[in-house]
Every structure is written in structure tokens, then in C-alpha cells.
Structure 1
């Protein structure tokens, strides 16, 4: 019995996970609703030994309903990038996926971090990455170890980010077979920075993440950095899209007649505000008020019910003071909203950087008529848990704003975002 339990755990740990996978599944669900077709039933994919990144790509594209589309959004995992795809009526696909690091999950180490622990995780990550890289020559692996933030499940403090360096075959086939002639491809790219330690070709180690609200210097003692290998160097963050993938996508898309545009943002809050402004303009151009705002957080989002109900979405990546402060500044500079509904996802732990409930209440208080923080989220916050489908249950209760607006064109959406690109940290290419 013990052997069977450990084997099941191994399979779970090798299953692709992370925000990008959750958003891809939500994209398929949203498109099924929009098109009035059943959701594809995809249980998984066969695997043995190292993870097959090509099989993961096939599994991700299989989440999307059959038919042809007027475009594609691909790139860094971001809730507002998914909302952008929903407004366009097109799919969203990730440029990477995550895998929990088995050794670190099993250790269940307590809080805090020492140089010895960091080195052990880096070595374990390098060993695991070696197997992935040997089986998948077109990927790179970033080992992320955050001894402060344990993820929404509070069970894993380390994970590997597997990034595609070339467009996987399943993505190529999908573009060739499912995109209408001339349909544009939009790449959303998080260009935030972090310190990493280099390793063998294709591998890098990252200590800490912005999920905790801390900075790279808060994690890494440069005096002990040599223990981890090479000195830490400024690099892109774990949410970034590899430039080699962008260039490969550009070449492939051009050969098939699809223009490629890019949306670059330095911090997730910037894209959240820009897409929220885009939604309001879209709704008002369709004779809607655009005065009902929903503030989502983490995995608590549902793009279909946002579009169905005619809501304006603003997404916070993590429940941090900095994220709530950015949302408050954006609201302060916006025309007032009559209704503001807030869905803060409990982080599962309390940190000095975690936003207290009172700050979420302050966001809701920007409403001129009705502002509320979801009761279930408030009861669980900050150390409890709320399942992701809770957002669907809550937003499903919003009345439909009929008739549904026709999808935005990619050109008009990018023009609208370009008008807001004077905001520090947002660039449209």
C-alpha cells in the first residue's frame, strides 16, 4: 500500500500545474460557453519517466473547443490577458507550465531558509531539470524556490517552470488548422526582473518570487551566493516568455500569414488596469454603462461570466498590500463605479506584505452605491482556502447583460491599449 501511495504522489507531482494551466482550462470553458458547445473532455495524457512537453502542449490545445478562430492570445500567465482573449472571443494559451519539485514537497521544511537548504534545492532542481532537458531539447527550466511563499495549497515551496524555446508541434498544428486566414496572434509578455543563478545550459535557479511581496535582495545573501554556483545575475522573472519562442512564433506565423503583435508589461498591475479600461470602453461603445467592477485575485476569476454579465474585470495576481494599493490608485484615477465586488483569494498564510481584509474593504468602498467583499473569501482570509470555482458560483448570480456584445477586433483592442501605453510599464509592439 505504501508503494502505491508514493507512486500516485509521483504522478501528481509530474502533472503540469500553475496559473498558466488553470487559465488555459478557464479559456476552454469560456469559449465553450461563448460558442454554445460542450466542453472538450480531456482527462490527461500518458507519460513515463520525464515529462513530455509536447504531450503537455497537446493536452493544453485539447482544452479548446473545435472550430476556427479569429485570433489567439499566448504568453505569460495573467488573468487580464485571459480577459483580453475573452473580449476578442479567442483562445488563450501559456508559453510555459509548472511542475512541483518532488524532493522539496516531501521534505515539508519549515519556514525560513539557510544557504545549505538553498543549495540543496538548487542541486535537486538541477538534477530534475537534467531529465526534463534530456527528453525535451526545445525547452528551458527555471527552478524556483520560495521558502516564504508555499503556493495556494501551502504544500510546495519549490517548482520548476518549463518554458518552450520553440513553438511546440501541437501549437503549430493548431495555428495552421484552426486560425482563420490573416488572424492575428497577440503575445502578452511579463518583462519583470529577478536575480537568478546560472547552471548547465538550459537551467537556472531562482531564490524567491514576487508572490511574497519581497524583493530579490530580501532573499539572496550575495556573500553566500557562491555556494549556489555562479554569482547571481539580473534576469527575467519566472513569468516571462522566452525571446527564442517569440522569434520562432514570429517566423512561423509570418509563413502562414498571421501578424504577431506584442503587449509588454513591467508589472501585472499595469496590464490589469489597462484591460479594465478597455472593457469599460468596449461596454460603453455597446450602449452599456460599464459601471460594475469585479476585482478578482489569483485563481478566483471567470472570464465567461464577466463577459456575460457586462462587468469590468480588474485582476490582482496575489493578495499583497502592493497589489491592493495599485488597485486603489487605479480606482482613484478612474471615473467612479457604482458597484465594486471584490473576490480576494486567501493566501493560506500571513505575511507582513499580505493585504489585510480592511484594505480589501477599502477597495470595495470606492463604489458609489454597492461595494462588497465576498463573505466566504472574507471568512477564510488570510489562512483559510477558497476553491477556484467559487468565483464562478458568485459571478453566475450576476444578471445577464443581453444581448451579448460582438467580440472586439484585435486591432481596436490594441489601439485602445496603445492609447493607455503612456502608463509607465506598458508597451504595445
Structure 2
């Protein structure tokens, strides 16, 4: 579930760091808010190209799918250059995005769209643990065993050059089907802060400030390939983890729609049908969203040396953070005498913290566009005080993957709003092939929601700490002293 680079990209990222990845987009979104700026076109597209990008839906769907594949491949590095990857340079790039000023807290850890909005609410930086290194190669999307072997033969130089990371390789032939034909996903997780993060925290965190360890404990079956190296089939979305390995009717139907039968290499013909993959031998932090607990020791060390407080914000599923953050915005608006009846659901990387606050909208983040995402949102709405309005950005990934929620399903969920509901920047007739939504969401948001409110000062961290301690039992989170 990665963001597609449409026509061009901000090439300021260091070599090997994907512009199109969720982590990179979230850093840009969070930093843009702290700089007082809106966040158009996922922070990737030259403004001069936006008018062209808004006409891409005129292309046949097959041509748009090719754009996803080719656009992603253009971001990949040569496997021969894996030894040149410097994750410490990635971390330097992150801290360079944020205003260099004092902060009462710094959030470090899991990638999560709700964390972007939490950082905006508190006016603090978010420093991610996980980065994606996309590596060029050509391979059938269903050739799982071949991809395991291909990456295993090429990973050692990256691991040797970066002894403070774990490598979680990921291959999702369902949701990432268009991309994995030309790219291997090498996700690295920092097991230590590194000089860049540590220096930044020491420089900007106010005396007595707080380091918030953001820990998503979501796990996935994985194949152990040696020290600090694993392989993961599939990822968070519309299927259970075990279904990727064991097969299920939804996968069989999906492969049939793709024109794939049991005679193709990598596809199992008997039983439910599915993919032929090595049997996983462990459950470890999920590649994109999970937190590697090895980082916690370094966070505690720096806090002890500098006299910082530590808080651990823990949750099992990436979606668990969204209701907690949404309700903190609702409370914040109520405290300032503002309306609290407008919800803005933001799908995957289509996040816009600046316009969220400017329009007085309550942010709710959906990791993707699947049936479980719809069910989580539906549960939140059923348990919340009613909203008058419910709007949604809807990420399109170019393939009708197994577990995808239909447009009608999303409409039904949003229809719980008492007055108005609908989509922002999305063409419902083209979902999930709606390439234009990646640029249209930003311009459409202020046109769809006419309300305007000034940006309030950040919520005091001490006040937030007190609130979180008092309400954690109401949510699927834990807020703990480190």
C-alpha cells in the first residue's frame, strides 16, 4: 500500500529513500503543518504538473495501471547499490524537514497517519522508525519463492552498511500487485536513534521535555532469513495474515479476475488456491506499521542521560490510534467554542493536517480502503456522538484487490452523518483506478468544506498527558510512563 509517484517527485530525499512511501509522505505532512503550510499533491508533484495530473483519468484503465508500475519502478535503486544505502542519512533528512526550535515533546516510532494529526495537535515533530528502500527488479507478482531467494542473495551489503537496522522485506501480490512486478520492498527499521535523531532531540527538546515512544504492536507471520533479516508475504489490508500463506476463497477469486490459474508458477491450484510461499516461522512487527522494540532501549538511554520524561503510546492495530486522536481534536474544538460535528476521514497517505484544522474538521485516519478499514470507521461512528457531516479522501491503488471495500460500502458508512456526507477529491466511478485523486484531494478539500477557522495554538503537552492518562481505558491504547 504505497503512494504512486504520478509524474515527478521532489528529489530532495537522499539516495534510496522512496518519495512515494507512507513514511516519507507522513514526515512531509507533519513538517508542513509545523511550518504553517498546507500539503498539496502528497508533497511530491511539481505544481506545474498538477493540471496535467488532473487529466490522467482520461487514459484507459490499463494505461493508468501501467503508470503505477512504471512510476514506482522509476523510484527504485539498482540492487548493486544496496551497500551504498545510508539509513543515518535518511534520519538526517527527516530532522531537516522540521523547524529548528524548542518543543515540549518529540514523538518517535511507528509510521501512522493518525500520528501525523497527533503531532499537529501538539505542535511537535514525529520521527519515524521505518523507511522504505525500493529496489529495481523484474519478477512475476506471484513468484513469492523467487522473490524470497532474490532478496536473500542481495541483502547483506545493506545490512553490513547499516548495523543499527533490521530489514523487513515485504511482497504483497494482492494490494501492491502493480508495483511488485518491478520493485522489491526493502523496509528498514531503526534499532537505535542514530546521531541525527539523538542530536535533534538534544537540541530541540526543552528541559524536562518528553520523548513519546509510539509503539504499534501489530505483528505478521514472517520468514526468518538470518540476523536482522526477514520476509513478509502480504500486509495490513483486506485479508488476514494467515490467508496470504494458506489461501482463501477471496484470493482464489482475485487471482481468477487477474487471469491467473493454478498452472502458473507461484500459484497453488488445490484447496482454496493462493500463493506458494515458504512456511513462516515467526510473528514479528509488521513491515510497514509495526514497531521494533529494540529502539526502546536507546530512547530510554537518552532520556536518562538528559533528564527527559518518557511516555509509551502503545496499541495493537494501526487503526486503534485513530479514534483516540479524533476525539482529542473534538475536545480541543469544543474547548475553544468551535463546532465539533464535521468528520474528515483521510485514507492512507491522503492526509492534509493544515486544511483539516483550517476547516474545523475532526481527523480520522484509515490506513487503507479495505473492508476492515470500513468496519473500524463504522464502529467509531456508532460509538461516537453523531456527526452532522462526514467527508472522506479515498486512496486508489489501481487494482481491485481482495478485501477491497466498494464505493457503496464506503457511502453506507459515511451516511451515518445527519446532514451531509461524501468524498473529497475522489471520482467514485473510477475507484480504485482514480489516479487523479492523488492531486485532486488537496484542491477539492477547501471547495467541499466551506468553513474556515484560525489555527489554534498547540495543545499543552502537560494537558494532553493528563487527558491521555484519564481516558486510555476508553480506547484500544495504553499510555504509560516509560
- 1:30-429 equivalences in 2 (<5 Å): 30-33=33-36, 49-103=83-137, 106-107=138-139, 109-110=140-141, 113=142, 117-150=143-176, 158-211=184-237, 213-221=238-246, 232-238=281-287, 239-374=289-424, 376-397=426-447, 398-399=449-450, 401-423=452-474, 425-429=476-480
Secondary structure, counterpart of 2:114 in structure 1: helix
Q: 1:248: Cα distance to partner?
A: 0.5
Please say which of residues 144-153 and 261-270 is displaced more in the overlay: 144-153
Task: Evaluate the alpha carbon distance shift between residue 324 and residue 145 of structure 1 in structure 2; reply closer, same or farther with a 3 A threshold.
Answer: same
**Do the aligned residues in 2 keep the contact of 1:33 with 1:304 (CA within 8 Å)?**
yes
Which residue of 2 is the match for residue 25 of structure 1?
28
- Tell me if the contact between 1:194 and 1:236 (Cα under 8 Å) persists in the aligned partners: yes
- Give distance in 2, aligned partners of 1:143 and 1:270: 24
CA contact (8 A) 1:189 1:263 kept: yes
Q: How far is the alpha carbon of 1:269 from its aligned partner? A: 2.1
Distance 1:202 1:145, change over 3 A: same
CA distance in 2, matches of 1:131, 1:367: 53
Distance 1:409-1:128 versus aligned 2 partners, 3 A rule: farther
Seen in structure 2, the aligned counterparts of structure 1 residues 158 and 216 have a Cα distance that, compared at 3 Å, is farther
Change (3 A) 1:30 1:403: closer
Q: Specify whether residues 61 and 396 from structure 1 end up closer, same or farther in structure 2 by C-alpha distance, changes over 3 A only.
A: farther
- The 8 Å contact of residues 270 and 423 in structure 1, kept in 2 or not, is answered as no
Deviations 1:40-95 (A, max 9, x none): 99x9xxx9852101111111111112322222122111111110000001111211
State the alpha-carbon separation in 2 of the partners of residues 191 and 78 from structure 1: 12
Question: Is the Cα contact below 8 Å between 1:296 and 1:343 reproduced in 2?
Answer: yes
Query: Are the aligned partners of 1:185 and 1:261 in contact in 2 as well (CA < 8 Å)?
Result: yes
1:210, CA displacement in angstroms? Answer: 1.6
Deviation, structure 1 residue 100: 1.7
Cα distance in structure 2, aligned partners of 1:297 and 1:362: 16
* 1:34 CA displacement: 6.6
State the distance in 1 between where 2:82 and 2:475 align. Answer: 46
Taking the aligned partners of 2:312 and 2:246, their CA distance within structure 1 comes to 35
1:101–1:125 contact (8 Å) kept in structure 2: no
Stretch deviating more after TM superposition (11-20 or 135-144): 11-20
Q: Call closer, same or farther: CA 1:394–1:73 in 2, change over 3 Å.
A: farther
C-alpha distance in 2 between matches for 1:64 and 1:151: 34
Matched with 1:8 is none
Which secondary structure does the structure 1 equivalent of 2:101 belong to? coil
Shift of 1:253: 2.3
- Name the Cα RMSD after superposition: 3.0
Per-residue displacement from partner, 1:286-321 (whole Å, max 9, x unpaired)?
A: 111211110110111111111222210011001001
Deviations along 1:316-372, one digit per CA (max 9) or x if unpaired, are 001001111110111111111111111111231113410100111112212212212
Residue 151 of structure 1, CA deviation: 6.8
Query: Larger deviation: 343-352 or 326-335?
Result: 343-352
Aligned to 1:16: 18
Give the number of equivalent residue pairs.
Answer: 401
- Give the SS at the match of 2:364: strand
3-state SS of 1:160 partner: strand
For structure 1, which runs of at least 5 residues remain unmatched after alignment? 1-10
Match of 2:70 in 1: none
Change (3 A) 1:292 1:231: closer
Instruction: Provide the TM-score with structure 1 as the length reference.
Output: 0.85
Unaligned runs of 5+ residues in structure 2 are 1-12, 47-80, 248-267, 269-275
SS in 2 for 1:70: strand
Distance change >3 Å, CA 266–CA 293, structure 1 → 2: same
